[in-house]
């Protein structure tokens, strides 16, 4: 089934550790995004990509990095986790539709807790 | 960048009543206006959208209206049901060629009381 997947779903980690949040989509979409969201709160765009080898920073300053080596895969890495990184991270992908329509499809999210 | 404001931030209605959420944006070049719904613990999902050349769109109990002159669009939910309880986000979007600028609003927590 075409979908967007994120692993892990939950992660508890100590300060200073390096972590990678995985995101994969099987919908063949070129565009992918990472958002940071505290539960029920505003969605903040931290990274996006328009295709392979394309990555851009979003509106919210982030100490994370991303890569896009394959169309279906868009991992996010934190080199040194801190308690301020505690949040939920949502991955999304999109494909243009008719006219200006473009639906964003979100993954289930990764809830990160940094101790 | 685009300034997006959603009002109200929280809204409680009795089951069966109507709910209206308003989204105001600053970029007059925005040309696509979606609304997303996020239920507790779940991922956001698109529920309705409208393009800039259309004033209103309906889909069963939900509708979106657009006032491009005033730069705002609204989500209308009629005959509300408990399953409508969620956080709703607007996301005014500007397309320029292949580039796209989307900004999510801060969200509105809707609670439908039985």
Nearest chain B residue to A90, by CA: B43
From the list A70, A64, A72, A74, the residue with the least C-alpha distance to A22 is: A74
Give the Cα separation of B64 and B44 in Å (integer).
18
Query: Nearest Cβ partner of A106 from B43, B51, B87?
Result: B43
Per-residue pLDDT, A40 = 79
Read out DSSP for B57-105? EEETTEEEEEETTTTEEEEEE-S--GGG-EEEEE--EEEETTEEEE---
Evaluate if residue A45 carries a pLDDT over 80. yes
Q: Pick B100's closest partner by Cβ from A40, A102, A108.
A: A102
Ranges of residues in chain B whose predicted pLDDT is under 50:
none
Q: Confirm if A44 and A57 have CB atoms less than 8 A apart.
A: no
Percent of chain A whose pLDDT exceeds 70:
97
Instruction: Give pLDDT, residue B111.
Output: 98
Q: Name the band, by pLDDT with cuts 50, 70 and 90, for residue A2.
A: confident
* CB contact at 8 A, A65 and A76: yes
Q: How confident is the model at residue A60 (pLDDT cuts 50, 70, 90)?
A: confident
pLDDT at B21: 98
């Amino acid at each position: 089934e075409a979908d967007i997947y994120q692993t892990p779903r939950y992660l508890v980690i100590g300060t200073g550790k390096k972590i990678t949040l995985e995101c994969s989509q099987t919908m063949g979409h070129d565009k992918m995004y990472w958002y940071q969201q505290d539960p029920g709160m505003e969605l903040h765009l931290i990274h996006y990509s328009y295709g392979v080898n394309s990555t851009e920073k979003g509106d919210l300053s982030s100490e994370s990095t991303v890569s896009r080596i394959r169309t279906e895969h868009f991992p996010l890495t934190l080199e040194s986790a801190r308690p301020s990184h505690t949040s939920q991270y949502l991955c999304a992908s999109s494909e243009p539709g008719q006219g200006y329509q473009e639906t964003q499809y979100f993954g289930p999210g990764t809830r990160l807790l940094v101790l | 960048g685009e300034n997006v404001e959603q009002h109200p931030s929280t809204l409680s209605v009795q089951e069966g009543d109507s709910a209206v959420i308003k989204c105001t944006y600053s970029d007059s070049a925005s040309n696509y206006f979606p609304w997303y719904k996020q239920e507790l613990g779940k991922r956001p999902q698109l529920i309705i959208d409208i393009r800039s050349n259309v004033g209103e769109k309906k889909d069963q109990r939900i509708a979106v209206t657009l006032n491009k002159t005033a730069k705002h669009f609204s989500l209308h939910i009629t005959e509300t049901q408990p399953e409508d309880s969620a956080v709703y986000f607007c996301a005014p979007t500007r397309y320029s060629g292949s580039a796209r600028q989307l900004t999510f609003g801060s969200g509105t927590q809707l609670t439908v009381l039985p």
